[in-house]
Structure 1
Amino acid sequence: MNISHRIDNLKKLLAWIEKNEKEIKKALLLDFQKSEFETQTSEISVVKTELKHFIKNTKAWAKPERVPTPPALFGHTSTIHYEPKGAVLIISPWNYPFQLAINPLIPALAAGNTVVIKPSELTENTSRLIHQMVNEVFSPDEVICELGGKEKTEELLTYDFDHVFFTGSTPVGRIIAEACAKKLIPYTLELGGKSPTIIDETADIEDAAEKVYWGKFLNRGQTCVAPDYILIHRSKKDQFIEAFKNLEKANAETPTGFVNSSHQNRVAKLSGNGDNYRETRCELIDSPDLNSDIMKQEIFGPVAPVIAFDHLDEIYKIMALNPYPLALYIFSNSQKNIQDILNKTQSGGVAINNVIVHLANHNLPFGGIRTSGIGTYHGHHGFLEFSHKRAVIEQKFLSKTMRFVFPPYTDFKKKLMEKI
C-alpha cells in the first residue's frame, strides 16, 4: 500500500466519522447510557485528533531514515526502512468501544498493514456500527471487521497474523501472549492495573479532589487509567474526603451507565454497599484493609479507597502490593517529593497535578509496563509499533576496504584492527 493511498484511507475514515457522529453517539447511548458530552470528548474527538495528526505526518514518518555509519565502515551508507509488518489483528474492549477500536487502526493503516478488527461483543450497537464503517470505507483486502464473542477471538488467534494488538484485562492479556508466543507473533498488550493517586501535604486539596472526582466520574470509572486508589498525607485526608463529598452532592449530571449488570454487581460487591451503590456517582472507601478484595482487584468503577500515610516511604510498601500500574498520579507542590516518587516507583505513564490527560498528548507514548502492558502507541510511537524497522547498509565506494578483515589474519591486519 503506497503512502498516498494510506493517507487517502485515513482521510476517508475521518470523513466517515465526521458524517456519522450522531450515529456514534446513539450507539454508545444504547450500549451503556454514555452521555453525548463524554462520547464527543473521549470517543470521537480523541480519534479525530489522532487521525489529523497522522494525515499530516505519515508521509514524513514513512520515509527511510538516514543514520550515521561508524568510521570502521567508511564507504557505506546506513538507513532504516519502515515497512509494514503485514496482517494485523486488533482486539478491542468494551469500555471505550469506538475509540479503542479505531485509535490502533490508525497507526496500523498508516504503517501500511492490512487489518482485522474484532470489537467487543458487550457493546453490540457500537460494534455493529464499526462493522458498517469498515464496509463503507475500506475494501475487504484492506480492513475487515469480525463480530462475535469469545469463540470468535479464539478462532482469530489460530490464524497466522503478523502482529496482534490487544486492549483489555491482564488475565486475558496473558492468554493472548501465550497464543502469540506459540507462533512467535509480535504483540502489543494494552492492559490495566491499580493506578495509584498520591496526594502529599503540599498539594492543593480542592484541586486534587476535583480532578480525582472527574477521573472517577468519567465513563463511570470504567477507564483503564482511572485513579484506582488514593494515598494521601494524614493531615489532608479529612479535607480531601469532605471536598470529594461536596462534589458528589453538587453534581447533577447523569453518569454513564455500567456495561451490564454483572459488572455493576461486581463493583457493588467490592464497595460493600450492595444496592445502595446504584444511586452513587462516585464513592470513597475510607481506610480499607490492604488484604481486602478492593485493594487486590482493579476496581474499574466509580469507587476509590482512601489510605492515609505519614511518610513517603509508607506509600512505596503499599504500591509494592500492586506493582506496575498503567498510570501514576501525583498531587504535590514539592519538587523534592515528586522526584522521590518518580525515582522509587514504576508505572506506564505519570501525570503530575492532574489525572488521565497524559494519554491525550499524541507526542507521548501510551502503554504499560509488564502486567499493565507491553508496547506503546499514540502518534509516531504507534507508527513505529506497527512498522518493521529494517536495517539497510550499502557500500557506495571504497569496496576494497573490507579486505583487511578477510583471511589470512596477518600481524599487519591485527595492528590495523586495533587502531580502528
Structure 2
Amino acid sequence: MTDLQSLFDRQRRASRETPDVPIATRLDRVRRVERLLDEHGAAIAAAVEADFGVRSPALTEVADLIVLRSLLSQLLRNAKRWSRPVRVRTPIYLRPARGWVQRQPLGVVGVISPWNYPLQLSLGPAATALAAGNRVLLKPSELTPRTSALLAELVARTFGEDEFAVVQGDADVASRFAALPFDHLFFTGSTAVGRKVAQAAAANLTPTTLELGGKSPCIVDASADLEEAALRIAHGKLLNAGQTCIAPDYVLLPSGREDAFAEAWRRAVARLFPRIDGNPDYAGIIGERHLARLHRLLDEARAQGARIERSGEAAPGSRQFGPALVLGAQPGLSLLEEEIFGPILPVLPYDDSAQAVAYINARPRPLALYWFGTDTAARDRVLAQTVSGAVTVNDTLMHIAHEGLPFGGVGESGWGAYHGETGFLRFTQQKPVLVQSRWALGPMLYPPYGARLQRMLKLLRLLG
C-alpha cells in the first residue's frame, strides 16, 4: 500500500498537471462508484453487518444505499449543467466588459468519514467531489474495519491512485491525514473531533466542511397527534439504534401529556420492533465502549430519580441496547448535556412554546430540529425564533433524503453544506472572470482627478 504522503503527492501532481477535468471523465468516475455499489453491494452490506454485530442488509439499504444511489443519479443527471460557466450582469461603469463565473475543480479533496453510516457518509462526499472534477483521498473509520478494508480494496480495483484512493488506519493516521494541505477537507463526526480537524487544517489554511452532531430537539406542539408523532419520533430515534447525527436527541412535550406520550411510544416501538433481542433490523451498538457509555447515562439518570421505561432487552453479551424512554430527567444529567448517540430518549415538559424555544436557544445550535403539529402559526413562530442546521416538520430525518435541500450544520453542529448543487459547488472553485472591452469606461476614472471625473461621476449617478 502506498504511504499517505506519497498518495497525496501523486494526486496533487495529477491535479496540477490537469486542472481542467473534462465532463466525460467526471461522469465516468461517478459511474464507476455506481458500478462498485451495484456489483458489490451485498458484500459491502455483509461487511457492515459484521462490524456492527447486528445490522441487517435491509437496514443498510435503507440507511445508506437509498440516499447514496439517489445522490449518484442526481450527479450523473446534473454535473454537466452545474459545470458550465455562469454569466453575470455587468454594472454600468464597467460596460461593455463581460463577466462570468467559471467553475473549476479545487484539486485534491480529503474526506474523513464516520462509522455510523459507513457508505453514505464516505462515498457520498467522495462522489460529489469526483463529479466536480477533483481527486479524492478517503479516510474511513477504524471502528468499521471490515467495511473500510473492503472499500479500500474495491476502490483500488476501480480507480487509479491518482484519481481516488482509500487510506486505512487509526486516530494517528486520521491526525496525519487532517494535517495534509488539501484543497478542501471534508469531515463528518463528533464536535470534539471536529475541533481538532479544524485546528489541523488551519495550519495549512485548508478550507473545511465540518458535518458534526449536537442535540437535535423534537417539539411536540399541543396541536399534534401524539400517536403519529410518537411513531415518527421512534423511527427517527431508533433507526441504526440511535447512532445517527440527526437523530432526535430529546422531546419537548406539553406539560401533562407525558403519560400519554409514553403509552404512544410503547405502541410505536412494538410496531417497529416486535422484539429487540436478535432482531436484525435493530442495529447493534458499534463497540463495547459506546455500549458502556449508554449504560452509564441510564444509571446516572436512574440514580437521580428519573423514570425509565425500557422496551425490550438484549441477551447478555449482545451489543444490542433496548430503547429507553426517560421521564423526569433533572437538569445537569449527562444525557441532557451530551449528544446521546443511542436509543435513549429524554422527555422534557414545557408550559408554553416560548419556554420550549428558550430551552433550545440556551444551548448550542442543533444540527436538526423537528416540529410536530397542525397549528401553522405556532410552527412558523418556532421556525422564526430558532436556528438549526435543518428542519423537518411532522417527521424526522427525512430532510437528509431530499436531494434538492442542502445538508449541513450551524455553530457547534458544523459549518458548510453539501448534497445536490450545494455539494457540487462546495468542491468547486467559482472563479470570476472579467473580459475588458477596448471601449471601456475605466480610463475615465484614472487620475489625475478633476472636472472630468466629476462629470463622469454625475453621469454614473444618473444612469445608476
TM (norm. structure 2) is: 0.88
Deviation at 1:285, TM superposition (A): 0.3
State yes or no: 1:323 paired with 2:376.
Answer: no
- SS of residue in 2 equivalent to 1:285: strand
Structure 2 residue matching 1:165: 3-state secondary structure? strand
Q: In the alignment, which residue of structure 1 is the partner of 2:26?
A: 6
Task: Spell out the pairing of 1:170-185 with structure 2 (5 A cutoff).
Answer: 170-185=191-206
Greater shift in the superposed pair: 34-43 or 301-310: 34-43
1:164 offset after TM fit, Å? 0.6
How do 1:217-256 residues align onto structure 2 when only pairs under 5 Å count? 217-250=238-271, 251-252=273-274, 254=279, 255-256=282-283
Secondary structure, in 3 states, of the residue corresponding to 1:258? coil
Q: Within the alignment, does 1:414 sit opposite 2:454 as a pair? A: yes
**SS state at 1:105 partner:** helix
| Aligned CA-pair RMSD | 1.5
* Contact 1:162-1:186 at 8 Å conserved across structures: yes
Structure 2 unaligned residues grouped into runs of 5+: 1-20, 304-309, 315-320
Q: What's 2:289 paired with?
A: 262
SS of equivalent residue, structure 2 residue 248: coil
1:64-105 deviation digits (Å, cap 9, x = unpaired): 111111111111111111111111110000111111110100
Letter in 1 for 2:45: K
Contact preservation (8 Å) 2:180, 2:201? no
Distance across 2 between alignment mates of 1:412 and 1:321: 58
Contact kept? 1:192, 1:326, Cα under 8 Å: yes
CA shift, 1:278, in A, is 5.1
Conserved 8 A contact 2:249-2:345: yes
Aligned counterparts of 1:249 and 1:75: Cα–Cα separation in 2 = 69
Alignment counterpart, residue 99 of structure 2, candidates 78, 88, 93: 78
Q: Hey, what's the Cα distance between the residues in 2 that align with 1:101 and 1:186?
A: 18
Cα distance, 1:281 vs. partner? 3.1
2:122 counterpart residue number: 101
1:60 match: secondary structure: helix
Matched letter for residue 322 of structure 2: R
Evaluate the alpha carbon distance shift between residue 303 and residue 398 of structure 1 in structure 2; reply closer, same or farther with a 3 A threshold.
same
Shift, 1:397, TM fit: 4.9
> Cα deviation per residue 1:5-63 (whole Å; 9 max; x = unaligned)?
00011111101211111101101110102112210111112111100100110000001
Q: Is 1:19 matched up with 2:59?
A: no
Matched, 1:358 2:399: yes
CA displacement 1:265-318 (0-9 Å, x = unmatched): 1012112269x8853532210021121101000000001100111111111232
Q: Share of identical aligned residues, percent?
A: 36
Q: State the alpha-carbon separation in 2 of the partners of residues 415 and 282 from structure 1.
A: 76
1:168 to 189, 204, 207: 189
> Contact 2:214 / 2:366 at 8 angstroms: preserved in 1?
yes
The 3-state SS of whatever aligns with 1:228 is strand
CA contact (8 A) 1:31 1:123 kept: yes
Contact 2:194–2:210, Cα closer than 8 Å, also in 1: yes
Structure 2 residue corresponding to 1:48, chosen from 69, 73, 76:
69
Mean alpha-carbon deviation: is it higher for 213-222 or for 227-236? Answer: 227-236
Q: Which amino acid aligns with 2:80?
A: K
Question: Which residue number in structure 2 is paired with residue 137 of structure 1?
Answer: 158
Give the deviation of 1:236 after TM superposition: 3.0
Asked if the contact 1:7–1:110 (Cα under 8 Å) also holds between the matched residues in 2, the reply is yes
8 Å contact from structure 2 (residues 179, 203) kept in 1 = no
C-alpha distance in structure 1 between counterparts of 2:364 and 2:171, whole Å: 28
Does the 8 Å contact 1:348/1:372 carry over to 2?
yes
**Alignment counterpart, residue 191 of structure 1, candidates 201, 212, 230:** 212
1:285 corresponds to 2:312: no
Report the counterpart of residue 227 of structure 2 in structure 1.
206
Structure-2 separation of matches of 1:72 and 1:207? 59
**Regions of 4+ moved over 6 Å:** none
Matched residues in 2 for 1:96 and 1:50: separation?
Answer: 15
Separation of aligned partners in 2, 1:266 and 1:336: 40
DSSP-derived class of the 1:206 partner: helix
Q: What is the alpha-carbon distance in structure 1 between the residues aligned to residue 409 and residue 118 of structure 2?
A: 19
3-state DSSP of counterpart to 1:20: helix
Letter paired with 1:416: M
2:122 & 2:170 partners in 1: Cα distance? 15
1:147-204 deviations in Å (ceiling 9; x for gaps): 0001111222232211110000001100111111111110000001000000011001
Could you tell me which runs of 5 or more consecutive residues in structure 1 were left unpaired when the two chains were aligned.
none
> What is the CA deviation profile of residues 116-144 of structure 1, one whole-angstrom value per residue up to 9, with x for unaligned ones?
10000000111011101211111111111
Q: State the shift of 1:323 in Å.
A: 2.1
Moved more, 294-303 or 313-322: 313-322
Q: 213-222 vs 248-257, which deviates more?
A: 248-257
Deviation track 1:215-258 (CA, whole Å, cap 9, x = no partner) reads 11100000000000000112433211111012234432521001
Counterpart CA distance in 1 for 2:444 and 2:82 is 38
